Amino acid sequence: MATPALSGLPKEIEERVVHDPIARKIMLVIFKAGTVRPKIGLETGIRYPPFEDLPQWTKVIEDLIRLKLVERNVADRLIHCPRCGSIHVSSRLLCPWCKSFNIEPTFIIQHTLCGYIDTESKFRDPNTGQLICPKCKRPLRKEGLDYVVIGKVFECLNCKRKTNKPLIAFYCRNCTHQFDYLNASYEPVYEYTLTPLGQKLVVSGALHKEEIINALKELGLIVESPGKEKGRSGIDHTFDIIARTPQGRVLAIDFAEEKDPSLAITSRIPKALDTEVDRYVIILPSGAFEASMMVQMKNVAVLELTEPYLVERIVSIAKELLKKEAKEVEVTPEVPEASEEEFFGLGGELNIPEEELLSVSEEKKEEEKKEEGKKEEKGEEKKEEALLGSDEFFGM
């Protein structure tokens, strides 16, 4: 079954997405990535590198979300400075009494032998670093044996008071503003994926068709989309795009929506065989390289939807067709200023090759074959000569 025609799309999608190169690019970038995730750096902020070259992408993506082609999910949430908006924010723990950030975590220790309780720092001998009971002066030996840790507190080095519930504050490294959680802005960070509708829009080729059709028309081809081509069986086969050269050579293009590349190919080859289109391009959502290995037909090309030069490659296939035609038309090329060329001993040679040199691999291969043939012929000649030689040698 052929893909739905462009006209099958809602008008707004057609106008907002299909005709807008930025919207198309965003859709394709997400399609290729699967999910476009934020890259978060404290100093660089929140970035989406694949979108960065696309002007006003944040605005365009809002439209794509509204049209239900793209969906965003919360990938994270970040504290932003309420004054400057920066995410380069550090957490601080403050003394609840004097608000100093200069507080130190410490353990509360009980010396079980005498029952004395104090912070670890009071037990620690500043010279030896050993734990010694400040009350009974005996050294502490082993946790659980002669002392226990009964908790952790923060000791303020400014006002010397202790707390087990310091205040939490945030400090902006960008503008030095300090703020508490009630004043912090705590914003979601999104990642972007295509909705099933968005996926379908991409694989249907709707985002590429216009560009391809225009490029083919510019080359002078007559384009229909979708286009029909009669098979030898009498069946009319529909292709997403049919482009005809002035001499009637046919370039057919299909966008395959199947996820399985081999299925996409095998279901389309009969069409190509029945119609004998001159060139058939099958565009797959993925796996084009592997699929192209399966195709043994010279006139069938398998391309991938997301490859960067898709339109250019189709254009070069169309040019190839046109070139063949041009050669047929110019059966006897005119030889301008023949006398001069003859004078330089270049004769007809200059006129023939230029097109052939420019033409693509296939013709080169044909030439190579011809040359191989020549070599073989020469080889045989040599063999014959060799035989002759030996014959001569034996006097026969």
Name every residue whose Cβ is closer than 8 Å to that of residue 82 and which is 6 or more positions away in sequence.
177, 179, 183, 184, 185
Q: Which amino acid is at 178?
A: Q
**In the Cβ-directed half-sphere of 292, how many Cα atoms lie within 13 Å?**
16
Please provide residue 147's backbone torsions phi and psi, each rounded to the nearest 5 degrees: -150, 160
Site for Zn ion in 290-329 (CB under 5 A): none
Please, what is the Cα angle at 345 between 342 and 349, to 5 degrees?
85
- In the complex with Zn ion, the residue whose CB is nearer, 176 or 247, is 176
Could you tell me the smallest distance in angstroms from the CB atom of residue 138 to Zn ion? 6
Could you tell me the smallest distance in angstroms from the CB atom of residue 107 to Zn ion? 16
Binding footprint of Zn ion, residue count (CB under 5 A): 21
Please provide residue 320's backbone torsions phi and psi, each rounded to the nearest 5 degrees: -60, -45
Q: Which stretch binds Zn ion (CB under 5 A): 65-73, 159-167, 202-210, 342-350?
A: 159-167
- In the complex with Zn ion, the residue whose CB is nearer, 156 or 295, is 156
Could you tell me the smallest distance in angstroms from the CB atom of residue 293 to Zn ion? 56
133 binds Zn ion (CB under 5 A): yes
80 binds Zn ion (CB under 5 A): no
Residue with tokens 């190919």: 265
92 binds Zn ion (CB under 5 A): no
114 binds Zn ion (CB under 5 A): yes
Residue 251, beta-bridge partner list: 243, 279
- In the complex with Zn ion, the residue whose CB is nearer, 94 or 291, is 94
How far is residue 229's CA from residue 332's CA, in Å, rounded to a whole number?
Answer: 33
84 binds Zn ion (CB under 5 A): yes
Interacting residue with Zn ion among 174, 266, 292, 351 (CB under 5 A): 174
SS3 394: coil
Interacting residue with Zn ion among 2, 42, 74, 136 (CB under 5 A): 136
Tokens of 364: 């080169």
**In the Cβ-directed half-sphere of 125, how many Cα atoms lie within 13 Å?**
12
Could you tell me the smallest distance in angstroms from the CB atom of residue 77 to Zn ion? 18
| Helix orientation angle between 206-218 and 196-203, rounded to the nearest 10 degrees | 20
148 binds Zn ion (CB under 5 A): no
Interacting residue with Zn ion among 24, 37, 80, 111 (CB under 5 A): 111
Could you tell me the smallest distance in angstroms from the CB atom of residue 128 to Zn ion? 17
Sign of CA dihedral 199, 205, 206, 211: positive
Interacting residue with Zn ion among 108, 109, 153, 156 (CB under 5 A): 156
Interacting residue with Zn ion among 172, 252, 277, 303 (CB under 5 A): 172
Interacting residue with Zn ion among 26, 61, 64, 95 (CB under 5 A): 95
How far is residue 122's CA from residue 106's CA, in Å, rounded to a whole number?
Answer: 10
145 binds Zn ion (CB under 5 A): no
Cα separation values, 83 from 79, 88, 89, 146, Å: 12, 12, 12, 52
23 binds Zn ion (CB under 5 A): no
Interacting residue with Zn ion among 6, 9, 40, 159 (CB under 5 A): 159
Q: Which stretch binds Zn ion (CB under 5 A): 73-81, 268-276, 311-319, 382-390?
A: 73-81
Strand locations in the chain (E): 35-36, 39-41, 45-47, 70-80, 89-94, 103-111, 117-119, 147-156, 162-163, 167-172, 178-180, 185-194, 222-224, 227-230, 236-239, 241-244, 250-255, 279-284, 300-304
179 binds Zn ion (CB under 5 A): no
98 binds Zn ion (CB under 5 A): yes
131 binds Zn ion (CB under 5 A): no
266 binds Zn ion (CB under 5 A): no
Tokens of 156: 């303020």
Could you tell me the smallest distance in angstroms from the CB atom of residue 85 to Zn ion? 7
Q: Which stretch binds Zn ion (CB under 5 A): 32-40, 92-100, 119-127, 325-333?
A: 92-100
97 binds Zn ion (CB under 5 A): yes
Where does this chain bind Zn ion (CB under 5 A)?
A: 81, 83-84, 86, 95, 97-98, 100, 111, 114, 116, 133, 135-136, 156, 158-159, 172, 174-175, 177
